[in-house]
Structure 1
Amino acid sequence: MDRKSIIKIIALMVTAFGIGIDFTGALMLVPAIESSFDADITSTQWVLNIYALFFAMTMVAGGRLGDMYGHRRMMIIGLSIFLFASILCFVSPGLDYLIGARALQGIGAGCVWPCTLAFGATKVAKEEHRALVMGLILAGVTTGNVFGPMISGAVVNLGDWRLFFLANVVFSCVSMATAILLMERETEHKKGEHIDFAGMGILSLAVLLLLYGLDVGADWGWTSLPLILLFFVSAVLFFLFPRVEKRVKEPLLLPQLMQNREFLITLGLNMFNVSAAFVGLLYFPQYMQKVLGWSVFQSALGLAPLTVLLAVGSIVSGTLYNDFGPKRLLFWGYVCSTLGAASVVVMPASAGYLQILPGMALIGLGATLTVGPSGTAAVCAVKPERAGLVGGLSFMTHLVYGAISVACATAVMYVSSLQSLKTGLAAADIDMSDTDQKAINGGTLTTESAKAVMQKLSSDEIEKVKSAITAAFDTGMNMAFVFATFSVAVGIILALMLDEKKLHKIEE
């Protein structure tokens, strides 16, 4: 490989690294954001969910636009959007503003990521080097996943979580400069490409309404008429989506794919493997900060058993796939993830960090055995000319279900922890209004609302309330992982249903 190609690969790896740090790094900021904007976990979860949703829904369109107008051009446009959104995150005056900026970041990343992969595969790598180049780009993003939490910890220790988004600005500027200076303009583009905006719009709105309903359910009441109507509209949109797909010229879901049993199984295997990992990435850092009292940087280091395994998995999964085949890898990977999620529930709270350490290791190992192989298996289930579409669709499904899992787990966590808090306060003979209980539920006592509640209490009552809050958070987190356990366990069944012989027979 010549020097010019190596420099381009390094530039693409830097771009991938910037996307990687943004995803995991932002999760470490949740407690700090709660304090800054006087919010609870049901609201701050959107910092992850809205980014994942818009990233996922933009990615297919971003890839298609790159084919139509040039991958270099779309990379630069996407990086410009990402850069602008990062500045908006930095100056956010409120949580709603930050969530909107994160959505815009997701759109930018959704344009950049598929074009980064496509440019590396078609304009940098020769045929014999393509697998190596793809592996290096993926190594860039997974390395970013490892270092993202550490960057978050460092900036919070400096006193302001907003500084994290300045790191995004730096990497975006570097990536834009390298794209402009090092990447040659493309002169030939695909003609006659169409983008399924109708399908993307309907699916995005259906998921968004579902996530919003899970967010406000505890406040509105799970049996309230407005919430039931919200879920009904979401269900109608999910019902309409495949029917709309039958009418558009180039749908996200081709009718032939929906009739392919092995493809549907592999698509499911792409979905359920993310549940435990996403829930873990959200709640493990909070547990270390809110229950164990660790700093953000300490919790970033404590998260390493999960993030490092996720990074290593992306590098070694290809070799494992060739050596063992998808069925065995996916089955044992899902078994590991299920046991990991379950271990968080059954390990005693008195174990401290050891309560979550086995879970992190097993979930990380499970992700190593499932994330890459499930995507490869999906591509193997279709004709070669549909590989690009299916690859994007698999990753989109992966992120969308991850967002839904986080929303479901958070709804379960909030209700469970609030009930546990009520019980704990009653046992301590402390009378507190429902409004005050909601203000301190979730374990962040540095918000203005929580401080106002704690100021009403005597020193003896404060210690009792802190104990009740800690126990409540642990109970809520355990219930979130009960949901994750059942969700991931579905993958064990799907892995057993997968027929490897049919998988490698190209669908007609």
Structure 2
Amino acid sequence: MERKSIVMLIALMVTGFGIGIDFTGALMLVPAIEDSFDSDITGTQWVLNIYALFFAMTMVAGGRMGDMFGHRKMMIIGLSIFLFSSIMCFVAPGLDYLIVARALQGIGAGCVWPCTLAFGATKVSKPEHRALIMGMILAGVTTGNVFGPMISGAAVTLGEWRLFFLANVVFSAISMATAIFVMEKETQHKQGERIDFAGMAILSFAVLLLLYGLDIGADWGWTSVPLLLLFFASGVLFFMFPRIEKKVPEPLLLPQLMQNREFLITLGLNMFNVSAAFVGLLYFPQYMQKVLGWSTFESALGLAPLTVLLAVGSVVSGTLYNDFGPKRLLFWGYLSATLGSASIVLMPDGLGYFQILPGMALIGLGATLTVGPSGTAAVCAVKPERAGLVGGLSFMTHLVYGAISVACATAVMYVSSLNSLGKQLKAFGIDLSLADQKAINGGTLTTDTAKAIMQKLSSTEAEKVQTAIANAFDSGMNMAFVFATVSVSFGLVLALLLDEKKLHKVEG
């Protein structure tokens, strides 16, 4: 690879690194944010979900605008939005404000990421280097995934979780500098493109209503009329989406792609690989902090078997793609992730860190063999001028389903842990109202509300309640991974159905 391509690759990896630290690093802040804003997991999950949703829904438009106006230009615009919203996160006075800021961060990242992929895919001088470059860009992201928890852990250790978002400001500024001074301007762009804002809006509202319903289901009652109407409205929007797509000039889902069975399978493979990893990234750190009593920084180090495998595996999967093809990599990756998720459910209680260690390692290995190859297969299957669009589309399905997975897993976890907590308190002879049980459910006892409840108990009762909460969290996490196991297993079936020869003739 010539020097010019190496310099460009380093610049793209720097940008990917900045995006990577934001995702996993923010996950580590969940308990600290719960304490700061007196919230619980059903509220703070939106710090992850709103970012993933807006990231996903902006990606297709960001990729298409990159095709139209230049990938470098859209990267700079996206990084500017990301930098501004990171400052908003740093100064957020409340949870709602923070969630809005995270949504803006998602919009900025959604402009940057597909254009980063497309820039790398279209500027490579030799086609055989494309898979390697895509793997290296993903390695930049996943290396950020490794360092993100350590940065957020250090911020919490210093006593201020907001410092993590100050690090976001620094890295996004560095990324902007590399885009401006290192990446060359593009002179040729795709003409006559239109952006499907109607499709984006309908799909966004459909997913948003679904996520909101899963969030408040436990409070409203799963069979309550308002909640059922909310789910019905979401279903109607999902039903309307493909019909609207048939009427717009440039739909999100291009007919020549959507009519091909193999490409649809590839999109499915971009979806289901995220369930175990997203649920693990959310709950493994909380398990270490709330059940094992580790600090945020110790939990960041404990997460390394998952994050380090993600980083190393992106490079490895990129080099293996041409030799083995996506089908074999995806099959073994999905099998590993399925076994890893199942191990969390099946491992006996009381093993401490070793209860989740095998699962973390297997889920990390599975993600390394599925995330890169599924995205690369989608991008490599189309003409270069469609690279931005398809890069955005594949990762849109990846993140939208990731957000849905987290919301579903959290709903399952919350109901299961609350039920377990009630049974244990009854067995201990401790009478707490349902409202009080909901306030302490999830394992966070350092919020103002939880402290007030615990102060009403004797020292013996408080100790029993703490034990019950830890056991309930463990039980709820296991049920969340039941959902993850079932979800990932669908990808295993799709990997077996994939026909590589037909896939690479999508636009042939």
When residues 435 and 371 of structure 1 are mapped into structure 2, their CA distance, relative to the original with a 3 A threshold, is same
Unaligned 5+ segments in structure 1 are none
Matched-pair contact (CA < 8 Å) for 1:16–1:141: yes
Residues 132, 318 of structure 2: 8 Å contact kept: no
Aligned to 1:336: 336
Greater Cα shift, 67-76 or 487-496? 67-76
Given residue 47 of structure 1, which amino acid in structure 2 is its aligned partner? V
Instruction: Describe the superposition over 1:135-167 as per-residue Cα deviations: whole angstroms up to 9, x where unpaired.
Output: 433221111011100111111100000000000
Structure 2 residue aligned with 1:410:
410
Deviates more, 1:176-185 or 1:215-224: 176-185
Matched, 1:46 2:46: yes
More displaced, 10-19 or 20-29? 10-19
Measured in 2, the distance between the counterparts of 1:352 and 1:224 equals 38
Q: Structure 1, residues 297-335: CA drift from partner, whole Å, max 9, x if none?
A: 111111111111111221111333333333332222212
Aligned partners of 1:279 and 1:481 also within 8 Å: yes
The residue that corresponds to 1:432 in the other structure is: 432
Q: Secondary structure at the match of 2:430?
A: coil
CA distance in 1, matches of 2:62, 2:262: 27
The residue that corresponds to 2:26 in the other structure is 26
Give the structure 1 partner of residue 73 of structure 2. 73
Alignment-derived partner of residue 245 in structure 2: 245
> What residue number does 2:375 align with?
375
Amino acid at match of 1:20: G
- DSSP-derived class of the 2:350 partner: helix
Deviates more, 1:57-66 or 1:348-357: 57-66
**1:142 aligned onto 2:115:** no
Residue type at the aligned position of 1:27: L
Task: Find the counterpart in structure 2 of residue 451 from structure 1.
Answer: 451
In structure 1, what is the Cα distance between the partners aligned to 2:103 and 2:428?
A: 43
Q: 1:396 to 1:368 in 2, by over 3 A?
A: same
Q: Cα distance, 1:190 vs. partner?
A: 2.8
Instruction: Classify the secondary structure of the residue corresponding to 1:138.
Output: helix
Higher mean displacement: 322-331 or 146-155? 322-331
Query: Which moved further from structure 2: 104-113 or 250-259?
Result: 250-259
Q: Within 2, Cα distance between the matches of 1:43 and 1:385?
A: 41
Kindly state the Cα deviation for residue 393 of structure 1 after the two structures are TM-superposed.
1.2
Per-residue CA deviation, residues 252-289 of structure 1 (Å, 9 max, x unaligned), is 11223332222222211111111001000000000000
CA distance in 2, matches of 1:113, 1:383: 19
Q: May I ask how many residue pairs the two structures share in their alignment? A: 507
Instruction: Answer whether contact 1:262 1:498 (CA < 8 A) is retained.
Output: yes
CA distance, structure 1, for counterparts of residue 365 and residue 426 of structure 2: 41
1:421 matched to 2:421: yes
1:182 to 1:356, Cα distance in 2 relative to 1, 3 A: same
Deviation at 1:68, TM superposition (A): 2.4
Q: CA RMSD in A?
A: 1.9
State the one-letter code of the partner of 2:410: T
Is the deviation greater in 389-398 or in 35-44? Answer: 389-398
Distance 1:363 1:135 in 2: 18
| Counterparts of residues 21-420 of structure 1 (less than 5 Å) | 21-122=21-122, 125-127=124-126, 130-379=130-379, 386-420=386-420
Structure 1 position 177, deviation (Å): 2.7
CA separation of 1:307 and 1:229: change in aligned 2, threshold 3 A:
same
When residues 198 and 160 of structure 1 are mapped into structure 2, their CA distance, relative to the original with a 3 A threshold, is same
CA distance in structure 2 between the aligned counterparts of 1:284 and 1:198, rounded to whole angstroms:
38
CA change 1:256–1:11 in 2 (3 A) is closer
* Secondary structure at the counterpart of residue 289 of structure 2: helix
Give the 3 Å change call, closer, same or farther, for CA 446–212 of structure 1 in structure 2.
same
Indicate how the Cα distance of structure 1 residues 408 and 387 shifts in structure 2: closer, same or farther if over 3 A, else same: same
Query: Following the alignment from structure 1 to structure 2, what is the Cα–Cα distance between the partners of residues 370 and 112?
Result: 22
Residues 114 and 388 in structure 2, CA contact (< 8 A), matched pair in contact too:
no
Q: CA shift at 1:233, angstroms?
A: 0.6
Which 10-residue stretch deviates more, 181-190 or 136-145?
A: 181-190
Distance 1:322 1:115, change over 3 A: closer
- Return structure 1 stretches of 4+ with deviation > 6 angstroms: none
Quote how far apart the aligned CAs of 1:368 are: 1.7
Q: Retained in 1: the 8 A contact 2:199–2:241?
A: yes
1:458-496 per-residue CA deviation (whole Å, 9 max, x = no partner) reads 000000000100110001000000110111111122222
Q: Distance in 1 between matches of 2:3 and 2:261?
A: 45
Q: 1:9 to 1:488 in 2, by over 3 A?
A: closer
Structure 1 residue matching 2:222: 3-state secondary structure: coil
Write the distance in 1 (CA, Å) between the matches of 2:161 and 2:52.
Answer: 20
Q: Distance in 2 between matches of 1:481 and 1:135?
A: 28
Shift of 1:133: 4.1
Q: What TM-score do the two structures reach when normalised by structure 2?
A: 0.95
**Aligned counterparts of 1:257 and 1:116: Cα–Cα separation in 2:** 22
Which residue number in structure 1 is paired with residue 470 of structure 2? Answer: 470
In the alignment, residue 426 of structure 1 is paired with which amino acid? K
Contact persistence 1:262–1:381 (CA under 8 A): no
Q: Deviations over 1:330-353 (max 9, x none)?
A: 222212111111110111120000
Give 5+ residue unaligned stretches, structure 2.
none
Contact 1:260 1:507 in 2 (8 A): no
CA distance in 2, matches of 1:373, 1:68: 26
Q: Note if contact 1:380-1:506 (Cα within 8 Å) is conserved in structure 2.
A: no
Q: Distance in 2 between matches of 1:382 and 1:170?
A: 35
Return the alpha-carbon distance in structure 2 between the equivalents of residues 7 and 381 of structure 1: 26
